[in-house]
Amino acid sequence: MTNNQIGLASDKAKELADQLNTLLANYQLFYVNSRALHWNIKGEKFFELHQKFEELYLDSFEKVDEIAERILTLGYTPLHTFSDYLKVAKIKEAANISGARESVETVLEGFKTLLEIEREILNLSGELNDEGSNSLMSDYIREQEKSVWMYSSFLQS
């Protein structure tokens, strides 16, 4: 068994990089959807949600870069074409959504998918003793669980 440049088993690092590429693809779709929701939101909750969706897409933009750089750190190539993202992503494009409730439901559905993938990565990175990937996923999960609570609370109004 050989190790990669950061001392992780190469075969497991490849599996982890593949999962991170799946997460990357889903984040790209989450980013695009958040951006569209930001642009297209209408109604009495416009000002509140316009700002929240901007926060989401800016955060997603940063996470896309972090995930891609983690894949490179593991010694692999991040997906980098939108056609590849569409093939891999579980999150689907959200088109022509402008209502508050449907917008927030779209965000929550995206978080659900991201959290599932992040937990899978967290399990594998834990097995590998890969603290870099582990820490990244732990931070993402903690942030997103709080966001799920907040967006879910919005729907209860």
Residue 7 CA to residue 131 CA, distance in Å, equals 12
Q: For the domain that residue 98 is a member of, what is the CATH number? A: 1.20.1260.10
By percentage, how much of the chain surpasses pLDDT 70? Answer: 99
pTM of the model: 0.96
Q: pLDDT for 73-98, tens place per residue?
A: 999 999 999 999 999 999 999 999 99
Q: pLDDT for 27-67, tens place per residue?
A: 999 999 999 999 999 999 999 999 999 999 999 999 999 99
Q: How confident is the model at residue 157 (pLDDT cuts 50, 70, 90)?
A: low
Neighbours of 46 (CB within 10 A): 12
3-state secondary structure of 84: helix
Residue 91 belongs to some domain of the structure: yes
Q: What is the mean pLDDT of residues 6-18?
A: 95
Residue 10 belongs to some domain of the structure: no
CA atoms within 13 A on the CB side of 119: 9
Angle at Cα 2 formed by Cα 128 and Cα 129, nearest 5°?
15
Residue 4 belongs to some domain of the structure: no
